[in-house]
A and B are shown apart, each in its own frame.
Chain A
């Protein structure tokens, strides 16, 4: 994998459903994996930064896992709410300071 790839590109779920997205990234020269939440008309907001293989982070109903050996991360949302509707971006950083972003997963939670 040369780039950061996210799937699915978009997702519609019903309020109360749990859901998850995938982020794939180059496992070589890896330093950190970032998840951002980007609501319409707002700035991207940092959710998690993970560096170690097996890392798990949680913030409320949102959690994320990291597998650096195989180069993937999952973001989970438990009991989705309409306010969770946003684009979720992941980004990988190597030893340099730059983040390489995926194209994002656009989540719509239907009431």
Chain B
């Protein structure tokens, strides 16, 4: 069966510090991968998605970046965090070319920028 892992579960970082959140998927090959953020009081916002190694599409201009160094690894980074980067970050995967695009979510990371 497929599983998705995210870490860390919670993170408190000062403004201006770097960020690295990691997501890995097991039990599937060549998945589509996604990073979402939920800011306080708002819905899930798609940040990045990837259909393959090294292929990243950005949905929202921001100071965040994403990378996919391996087939089942997706990393969200920032060189300098802003207060507005606080939120709940979710990684998700879906079957490549799946007809329904159903997505499966990881446990999430709660990021607080102070």
Contacts and interface: CB of A to CB of B under 8 A. Distances in A.
Interface residues of B, number: 23
B70 to A, nearest CB: 20
Interface stretch (A11-19, A59-67, A78-86, A94-102): A94-102
Interface stretch (B14-22, B39-47, B79-87): B39-47
Interface of B: 32, 34, 36, 42-46, 49, 51, 59, 90, 94, 99-108
Interface in A29-44: 31-32, 34, 36, 42-44
Nearest to B105: A43
Contacts of A93: 101
A100 B44 CA distance: 8
Contacts of B106: 43
Nearest to B100: A49
Closest 6 CB pairs of A and B: A103-B43, A101-B44, A43-B105, A49-B100, A44-B105, A101-B43
B107 A43 contact: yes
Nearest to B107: A43
Contact of A44 (B90, B99, B100, B101): B90
Nearest to A42: B107
B61 to A, nearest CB: 16
A101 B45 CA distance: 7
Q: Which of A4, A99, A101, A103 has the most CB of B within 10 A?
A: A99
Contacts of B32: 97
Contact of A34 (B49, B59, B102): B102
A43 B108 contact: yes
7 contacts: A32-B100, A46-B103, A49-B100, A97-B49, A100-B46, A103-B42, A104-B43
B103 A99 contact: yes
Contacts of B102: 34, 46, 49
Nearest to B46: A98
A97 B105 CA distance: 15
